[in-house]
Amino acid sequence: MDGSLSVEELTRLLREAEQRAKEERQRADREQQRAEEAERTTGRAKTRRSKLTFGTLYGSFPTESRVFENRNFLAGLGNRISQRPIADEKTLEYFLHNSVEDPVRAIIQQLKQVEEVSRAFQIGDGVVFENHPHALSDVAEEVVERETPSAPPRTPDHRRDLNQLRPDQICIYRSDNTLSSRRTMVYVSEYKPPHKLTAPHLRLGLRAMDIHKEVVNRRMIPTSVDPDALFQYHAEKLTASAITQTYHYMIESGLEYGLLTTGEAIVFLKVDWDEPETLYYHLAEPGPEVSAHPNNVHICTAVGQYLAFTLMALGSSGERRGNKQEERLKAMENLKTWAEDFESTLRSIPENERSASSDSSPGPEPTTYKDVDRSPALPRKTTRRTAECQIGERSSRKDDRHESSDDESAPPPPPPDTPTPTGRNTRQGTRRSQRLALRPRGEGGEQDRQYCTQKCLLGMVKGGFLDPKCPNVTLHRKRCAPARARHPVNHEEWLRLLWKQLQQSLDNGIRPLGEGGARGVLFQVTLLAHGYTFVSKGTSLPLRLN
């Protein structure tokens, strides 16, 4: 035997290889079909959620009110803005501030005065669009300057670069009182000029994918021999780079919602914090959508879609909003990183390859959702209260991510949009929601705890006696102790226990007070082991010595 294979054996091996290849092609086709169906289904889900939101507004807001700017003013504003073509981030910011964001702010300012709308959405005292985060944020200008080394490192520090990304972004806050001293970030908006990230880029680049596998670590890169495949590759890389930057800030800020806009197109983004590694998106092109839905123009405009999205992000009455530090830090530790920002990605593409070749096949059609009914989902109105109940029934869905309130009239949060990558099962989310439901109201049950007296804290520092007038004295004693008992720990041990507690969790025993200044913000802190409760000041690491 010379070890060679017979003709029959070779034939069998070839057939087996052909069968495996056929099965692999069929599997790939099935995955592609599932991804396309997910895009169609979740695209309809996003528009359906907008329909429900506008239905709630139509059923609550008095239509006879004349509180908004008239058509003549808007026409004049449009003419003035159109005189300034969008050539860079600054002109894009000017356009969006005047034609989209400020109108949305003004509309919500009127909506908050309607009791039934305020009951349906957590509007608070309105929304604020600002082009910078909190002064103590990791990406605030002074913080970044202090963190930047005086001399450049010898080798690139990609982790530092990633943490210092400075997006052309707007932070959208809900103001929680009339002085705007208390506010809550509800989503982040990032700008990319339309000549850098075009609508064809977004149409081709947004699809169900594993970004780290299919874009960041892609092995086969097309060449100019196939211009269509090459443009598809650049579109996916540019789009992934842009939304990854927005996603980065959503994760760092613990946000569920965000958006990326070029002025021509908007990519609405959502993170399900049960699976933070999955980013959901919905592509909107207001111009083509308005033309495709002439009977529902107001819902399809940029202002209409921003308004619906903002109300979704604000959340229904009674919903939990925001994520705890532990969730945020765990996600940041587990997620993969991409040490290349959008501008670097754009510069790596030759200018003659940034647009589709005129000789290649026609580009993708604009996104219009023309087969979707965009009219508001109006409730049947018998009495106002009955109408509210019907809204809750029509818009309910099985999403245990959020706690529900006793008032089920509020519309639920929006269902996820197109998954990137494809989603998993929801068992993990159910378990998490059960934990939330069993959790006491407030921040870990510490919401209503009273502060220790000054005499109590001073006695602990000096090793003295307990203050019987301290509201937490029974927690300090632990057991039945004499009235003139000393503190259970000295100052050194107290500091050690507090440090250990902070290392274990930045949530338990800590409650932000919503008050702060240029160098710090205030928290209520409780040493859980002995019940000591006091006011603490927190700041960013680079500012800790100021």
Show the DSSP H helices in 61-197 as ranges: 71-82, 89-96, 102-111, 115-120, 141-147, 158-163
Provide the pLDDT for residue 165.
Answer: 43
**Sheet harboring 510-516: ordered strands across?**
510-516, 521-527, 532-538
Q: Which of 22-31, 301-310, 397-406 holds the top average pLDDT?
A: 301-310
pLDDT of amino acid 403:
38
Q: What would the two tokens of residue 205 be? A: 């680049």
How far CA 308 is from CA of 40, 46, 86, 273, 411, in Å, comes to 20, 10, 25, 21, 12
pLDDT at 13: 77
Q: Are the C-beta atoms of 190 and 260 separated by less than 8 Å?
A: yes
Query: How far is it, in rounded angstroms, from Cα 333 to Cα 321?
Result: 22
More confident site: 148 or 357: 357
In three-state secondary structure terms, 444 is coil
Helix (H) or strand (E) holding 286: helix 286-292
Per-residue model confidence (pLDDT) at position 414: 41
List the structure tokens of 431: 């378990």
pLDDT confidence of residue 270: 93
40 token code pair = 């169609």
User: What tokens appear for 136 in the block?
Assistant: 């103590």
For 104-124, what is each residue's pLDDT tens digit? Answer: 999 999 988 888 888 888 888
Q: Which parts of 34-82 are beta strand (E)?
A: none
The two three-digit tokens of residue 47, written as one number: 């528009």
Q: Which burial class, exposed, middle or buried, applies to 176 when counting CB atoms under 10 A from its CB (0-12, 13-18, 19+)?
A: middle
Residue 274's nearest CA partner among 173, 148, 416 is 416
466-487 confidence digits (pLDDT tens): 999 999 999 998 755 565 688 9
Residues 193 and 59: their CA atoms lie apart, in Å, by 37
3-class DSSP state of 174: strand
Tell me if 136 sits within 8 A of 543, measured CB to CB.
yes
In sequence order, what DSSP letters do the residues of 452-501 get, joined into one string?
Answer: PPHHHHHHHHHT-B--TT-TTHHHHH-S---TTPBPSS-HHHHHHHHHHH
Which 3 state secondary structure label does DSSP give 249?
helix
Dist CA 197 CA 258 (whole Å) = 17
The three-state secondary structure class of 255 is: coil
Among 165-179, 386-400, 446-460, 472-486, the range with the most confident prediction by mean pLDDT is: 446-460
Where does the pLDDT of residue 162 fall: very low under 50, low under 70, confident under 90, or very high at 90 and above?
A: very low
A 10 A CB-CB count for 10 gives 11
Residue 280, sorted as left (phi over 0), alpha (psi -120 to 50) or beta, turns out to be beta
pLDDT in tens, 190-243: 999 999 999 999 999 999 989 988 999 888 888 888 888 899 999 999 999 999
Q: What is the structure's pLDDT at 538?
A: 85
Q: Are 174 and 386 in contact (CB under 8 A)?
A: no
| Tokens 């390859």 found at | 353
My answer on whether omega of the bond before 421 falls inside 30° of 0, hence cis, is: yes
Q: Which two tokens stand for residue 341?
A: 């920002």
Q: Which residue type does 107 have?
A: I
d(CA 404, CA 474): 35
Distance CA 121, CA 311 (A): 7
Q: What gap in Å lies between CA 468 and CA 5, rounded to an integer?
A: 93
Give the CA dihedral 501, 502, 508, 513, nearest 10 degrees: 140
Token representation of residue 69? 């700017």
Q: Which of 77-91, 149-163, 434-448 has the highest mean pLDDT?
A: 77-91
Dmax over CA atoms of the chain, in Å, equals: 99
The pLDDT value given to residue 225: 87
Dihedral angle over CA of 193, 196, 201, 202, nearest 10: -20
CA–CA gap between residue 77 and residue 63 (Å, rounded) = 24
Burial of 78: CB neighbours in 10 Å, binned 0-12, 13-18, 19+: exposed
Q: For residue 220, give every residue at least 6 positions away whose Cβ sits within 8 Å of its Cβ, in sequence order, or none.
A: none
What lies within 8 Å, CB to CB, of 388 at 6+ separation is 59, 116, 119, 120, 379, 409
The distance of Cα 400 from the centroid of its chain, to the nearest Å, equals 18
Are the CB atoms for 59 and 52 separated by under 8 Å? no
Asked whether the predicted pLDDT for residue 489 surpasses 70, the reply is yes
**DSSP SS3 for 328:** helix
What would the pLDDT profile of 359-414 be if each residue is shown by its tens digit?
A: 556 678 898 988 888 888 776 554 444 333 333 333 333 343 333 333 334 443 44
Helix (H, G, I), strand (E, B) or coil at 213: helix
pTM to 2 decimal places = 0.71
Residue 246, pLDDT score: 93
The reported pLDDT for the residue numbered 524 is: 94
* Average pLDDT score, the chain: 76
Question: In a 3-state reduction of DSSP, which class is residue 405?
Answer: coil
Rounded mean pLDDT of 53-80?
82
Could you tell me whether strands 510-516 and 418-420 are parallel, antiparallel, or unpaired per DSSP bridges?
Answer: unpaired
Helix (H, G, I), strand (E, B) or coil at 278: coil
